Amino acid sequence: MRATRPLSMQDGWREIGVTQQLRAELVGLLPRLRRFAYGLTGSLEDGDDLVQGACERALRRLDQFQPGTRFDSWMYRIVQNLWIDQRRARQVRPEAGMEPADLEALAVGDAERELDARLALTNVQRAVKALPDEQRAVLLLVCVEGLSYKAAAEVLEIPLGTVMSRLARARLAIGQALEGESIAAASQAKG
DSSP type of residue 62:
G
Q: For residues 125 and 40, give the distance between their C-alpha atoms in angstroms, rounded to a whole number.
A: 11
Q: Supply the pLDDT for residue 15.
A: 55
pLDDT attached to residue 80: 93
CA dist 131 and 176 (Å) reads 12
CA distance 78 to 88: 15
Domain ranges of the chain: 11-90, 100-190
The closest of 82, 64, 70, 61 to 153, measured between CA atoms, is 70
Helices (H) and strands (E) in the chain, counts: 8, 0
> Looking at residue 136, what is its pLDDT?
94
Rounded CA-CA distance 89/66 in Å is 29
Which CATH entry fits the domain spanning 100-190: 1.10.10.10, 3.40.50.2300, 2.40.50.100, 3.40.50.800? 1.10.10.10
Q: Say what the pLDDT of residue 124 is.
A: 86
Beta-sheet strands, E only, within 121-164: none
Tens place of pLDDT for every residue, the chain, 191 residues?
Answer: 444 444 333 444 345 566 788 888 889 999 999 999 999 998 899 999 999 999 999 988 888 888 888 999 999 999 999 999 888 887 654 444 555 555 555 445 556 777 777 888 888 889 999 999 999 999 999 998 999 999 999 999 999 999 999 999 999 999 998 887 666 665 565 55
For the chain, helix, strand, coil in percent to 5 are 80, 0, 20
> Are the C-beta atoms of 178 and 124 separated by less than 8 Å?
yes
pLDDT at 189: 56
Contact 78, 51 (CB under 8 A): no
Which residues neighbour 76 within 8 Å (Cβ) at sequence distance 6 or greater?
Answer: 33, 36, 141, 145, 147, 155
pLDDT at position 121 is: 81
User: Residue 65's pLDDT is what?
Assistant: 87
Q: Establish whether domains 11-90 and 100-190 are of one fold.
A: no
> CA 134 to CA 78: how far, in whole Å?
15
Give domain 11-90's CATH number out of 3.30.390.50, 3.10.450.50, 1.10.1740.10, 3.20.20.70: 1.10.1740.10
